[in-house]
Amino acid sequence: MAVNNFDFTVHNYMEDIVLELVAQKQREDPDFDICERCLMDISAIVLNAVEPQYVKVKTKLEELDDAAVANLNRLIEEAAKQVRANPHHDRVENGTYHLENSSEIMVRQVLEEFVENQSEVELEPDMIPLVASMVLNQTKPRYAVTTRGGAYKRLAQLDHQFIPTTISCIYNVIRQIKDLK
C-alpha cells in the first residue's frame, strides 16, 4: 500500500460550530474579552466534551436545534471560567499555536498499519478517508492547543486500550460500509 493513500484530510465539523459560537460570544458579550490563546484553550475543552462530527451529519450551526446550541454555550461558559482561573497565555511561546485533535493522528497511524497488515480485508484506497472519519466519530477527541509536533509527543502517553479498541472499530466500520453497498 502506497504511503500517499494516507495523505487525505479529515475534518471535525464540530470545530467550525464551536469556533463560530465562541466568536459570536466574543462579539456579543463584553465580559468575554480574552486573548487568542485562551479562546483556543476554551475551544479545546468544549470539543473534548462533545461528540465529534467527522462525517457530515449536522455540520452547520444553523442546523443544530436550540437545545444543542444552549448546551454548547453552557460548555463554553464553563470552559471560559476554567481557562480564566488557569490561563496559559503567559507561557513561553515557541512557534505558533494551533488547535489539534491528536486522536486524528493516532487513528491515521492505526489505520495505516491495519491496511498494511490485514490482507484479508479488502479496502479500496478511496474508502480510506471515509473509514477514518467514521472511526473518528466513535473515538474520544483529544484536543489540545499545541505547536507543530506537540501531538506526536503525546502519542507516547497513549493508553494501551487505544490500539485494540480502534482496530475493532475499524472492522465494524468496514462491515457497515459493505452492508450499505
Which residues contribute to the site for Zn ion (CB under 5 A)?
A: 35, 38, 87, 89
- Measured distance CA(97)–CA(134) in Å, rounded: 27
Provide the b/e sequence for 17-44 (b: ≥16 CB within 10 Å). bbbebbeebeeeeeebebeebbbbbbbb
Provide the minimum distance between the beta carbon of 36 and Zn ion in the complex, in angstroms, as a whole number. Answer: 8
For the bound state, the minimum distance from the C-beta of residue 39 to Zn ion, rounded and expressed in Å, comes to 8
* For Zn ion, the closer CB: 38 or 136: 38
Nearer to Zn ion by C-beta: 35 or 70? 35
**Residue ranges of E strands in the chain:** 98-101, 143-146
Q: How far is the CB of 35 from Zn ion (least distance, A)?
A: 3
Residue 76 or residue 131: which is nearer to Zn ion going by CB?
76
